[in-house]
Structure 1
Amino acid sequence: MKKSVLMIIMTVMMAVVMAACGNNNTKDAKTETTEPAGNKTNTAAPAESKELTIKHKLGEAKVQTNPKKVVVFDYGVLDSLDKLGVEVSGVPQANIPPYLSKFEDKKYANVGSLKEPDFEKINALDPDLIIISGRQQDAYEELNKIAPTIFLGVDNTKLVESFKENMNTLGQIFDKQSQIDEELAKIDASIKEIHDKATASGKNGLIVLANEGKLSAYGAGSRFGIIHDVLGFTPADPKIEVSTHGQSVTSEFVAEKNPDYLFVVDRDSAVATKGTETASAKDTIENDLVKNTKAFKEGHIVYLDPNYWYLSGGGLVSMVEMINEIGAAIK
């Protein structure tokens, strides 16, 4: 009798326990299925920031990957970061190229001009990284006191190689290496195509910068030397001195060299204040002397876009546009 009672009691207790478990499971299942997907907590850990040592022309810097507040003084780097979808905090807004006009917005701090950084404003931003190039190298020491500063200017004697090095540096810092690799592969293909066209044409070229009615010539190894060194145009004069500001020349020089192609960079239009009139590069170039050249007679005077060639060369966007302009000019 006692055993029977004990068995009954144990059976009842087990039934109660099982019922309780069933209710809990049902409650849990309802909670999981009715919770809105958008309200679920993402438990994935954020990517850890790593410290990189970036060596550059002016020294080296310890940089954290994916820095949040970045000041950029080089428009080529700026167009590259924009292409990669990387946001920046501060830029020099004077003479910003039209294709980068979004950075004139007040959401971006105006950190001075290309040659005169506003140290006070930059310091107030408390940036994580500052990127400069040739026009700001004299300010490097002062900028480096504010935040890690790296130099990403291109080397004109090996323009494409240094451009690729700069892009790979951006890829490391901002975790964009796969995108960088893809863009560089496209650029390599374009370079080969244009180089083959230029060499097959057998034509030579002369590059001049027009500035306030005066002319400067640029040859191989110069800031515009990509036309000769990379894209395959034979220099009309292989002895042009290599310098930042070019070799001062005259219309008589252009007529004497009689190039097949004359490539013109209009500095005045690139640096002019908005709303002001500037000297016309066409008026400077197309005088009676130059009109006797093969370039003029064959319609081969090419006015290059100074926003890419003078202000922002060396970016993922500007490099493509520069290459395409030369390709489009070959007839």
Structure 2
Amino acid sequence: MRKIVMNISLFSNGLRSVAVAAVLALAPAASAETLKIEHSSGVTDVEKNPKTVLVYDFGMLETLDMLGVAVAGVPGSAIPPALEKYKSDDFPKIGTLFEPDYEAVNAAEPDLIIVGGRSQSKYAELAKLAPTIDLTSDDKDLIGSVKKNAAILGLIFGKEVEIKAASDKLDGSIEKLRGVAKGAGSGLVLLTTGGKISAYGKGSRFGEIHDIFGVEPADPKLQVATHGQAVSYEYILETNPDWIFVVDRDAAIGQEGQPAAALLDNELVRQTKAWKNERVIYLDSAKLYLTSSGLKSEQDIVDQLTEALSKK
């Protein structure tokens, strides 16, 4: 059997070049092509166009859905509205983002398992059962890693052209957003959950709004923390941003709780420049919180911000 090793450069856009080594085994005509995939937790040999695919990351599920790739198993809870169809019994449930159902995984006899983000910690156990890749995005290079992971899926499923087109579109949209954000004023990102409010700044899980999209941070000194920095109404007024961007976690995960709009309808918040000028923007929380690792969600986030900031 003869093997040819190829370095395939998928595309480069100034953020990051994506290179994946593909190994093609030239034996009988029926032999499957095998790709050597580099990912966040190592290197895995993956069969080209795998038939039975299990997915433990909603951003990656969104990308596969966009590409028209069928999946054989998905998490059984917290499925976001944009992926509503996967709640159907037509799609076997394989546990949750945090805890796989290993019996269901074994029964599915998968050709490929995809983890990422919240399911990353289960990579080692799942990799014992079937070829597994970890497509966790990198908060320090979010857009670069989102495009890289999408490119990996494009390579595996023969959808490179579609991924490149979507990535190029996202690049152009980000440039447009940066132009709109310039001079738009300061912004403060708030997450609400369980009646509490947290703020997120540069370098945080929602830091792309400042770091990539160019919105001036209202509080440059905000500490970077996984769950943000707990803040009060007094803090919001003292910071007095031109824009407030709101992520409602309870709404994102389908959990009962006080809606963000009601929580922020407070005497002190109403005194901020953002409130007075009708610049409190309720972002698509499911996309920010659950699927921002997906190429389509990032495009939708950029489009929503561009539309909002264009009304400055």
2:159 is equivalent to residue 180 of structure 1: no
2:261 is equivalent to residue 282 of structure 1: yes
Is the CA contact 1:69–1:127 (under 8 Å) kept in the aligned structure 2? yes
Q: 2:298 aligns with which of 294, 301, 319?
A: 319
Any residues of structure 2 matched to 1:1-331 within 5 Å, and which? 49-201=32-184, 203-273=185-255, 277-330=256-309, 331=311
Q: CA deviation at 1:46?
A: 8.2
Give 1 or 2 for the bigger CA radius of gyration. Answer: 1
Q: Which residue identity is paired with 2:221? A: K
What SS is found at the alignment partner of 1:318? helix
Q: Which residue identity is paired with 2:83? A: L
Q: Percent identity?
A: 46
Q: Which residue identity is paired with 1:106? A: D
What SS is found at the alignment partner of 2:261? helix
For 1:278-301, what per-residue CA distance to the aligned partner results, in whole angstroms no more than 9, with x for missing partners? 211112212111111101000001
Which structure shows the bigger proportion of residues in strand conformation? 2
For 1:117-168, what per-residue CA distance to the aligned partner results, in whole angstroms no more than 9, with x for missing partners? 1111111111111111121122111111111111112111111111111011
Is the CA contact 2:193–2:257 (under 8 Å) kept in the aligned structure 1? no
Is the CA contact 2:245–2:280 (under 8 Å) kept in the aligned structure 1? yes
Q: Matched residues in 2 for 1:289 and 1:297: separation?
A: 11
Q: Which residue identity is paired with 1:278? A: G
For these two proteins, the number of residue pairs brought into alignment is 283
Runs (4+) of structure 1 exceeding 2 A deviation are 45-49
Indicate how the Cα distance of structure 1 residues 211 and 51 shifts in structure 2: closer, same or farther if over 3 A, else same.
same
For 1:74-118, what per-residue CA distance to the aligned partner results, in whole angstroms no more than 9, with x for missing partners? 111111111111111100131111111111121211111111211
Q: CA deviation at 1:178?
A: 1.0
What SS is found at the alignment partner of 2:247? strand
Indicate how the Cα distance of structure 1 residues 216 and 46 shifts in structure 2: closer, same or farther if over 3 A, else same.
farther
For 1:184-211, what per-residue CA distance to the aligned partner results, in whole angstroms no more than 9, with x for missing partners? 111111111111011143x110001101
| TM-score under structure 2 length normalisation | 0.87
Could you say what the CA RMSD is over the residues aligned between the two structures, in angstroms? Answer: 1.5
Which structure shows the bigger proportion of residues in helix conformation? 1
Question: Which deviates more from structure 2 when the two are superposed, residues 158-167 or residues 238-247?
Answer: 238-247
Is the CA contact 1:205–1:233 (under 8 Å) kept in the aligned structure 2? yes
What SS is found at the alignment partner of 1:139? helix
Indicate how the Cα distance of structure 1 residues 124 and 320 shifts in structure 2: closer, same or farther if over 3 A, else same.
same
- Counterpart of 1:31? none
Unaligned runs of 5+ in 1: 1-44
Q: Which residue identity is paired with 2:87? A: E
Q: CA deviation at 1:315?
A: 1.2
Unaligned runs of 5+ in 2: 1-27
- Counterpart of 2:17? none
Is the CA contact 2:80–2:253 (under 8 Å) kept in the aligned structure 1? no
| TM-score under structure 1 length normalisation | 0.82
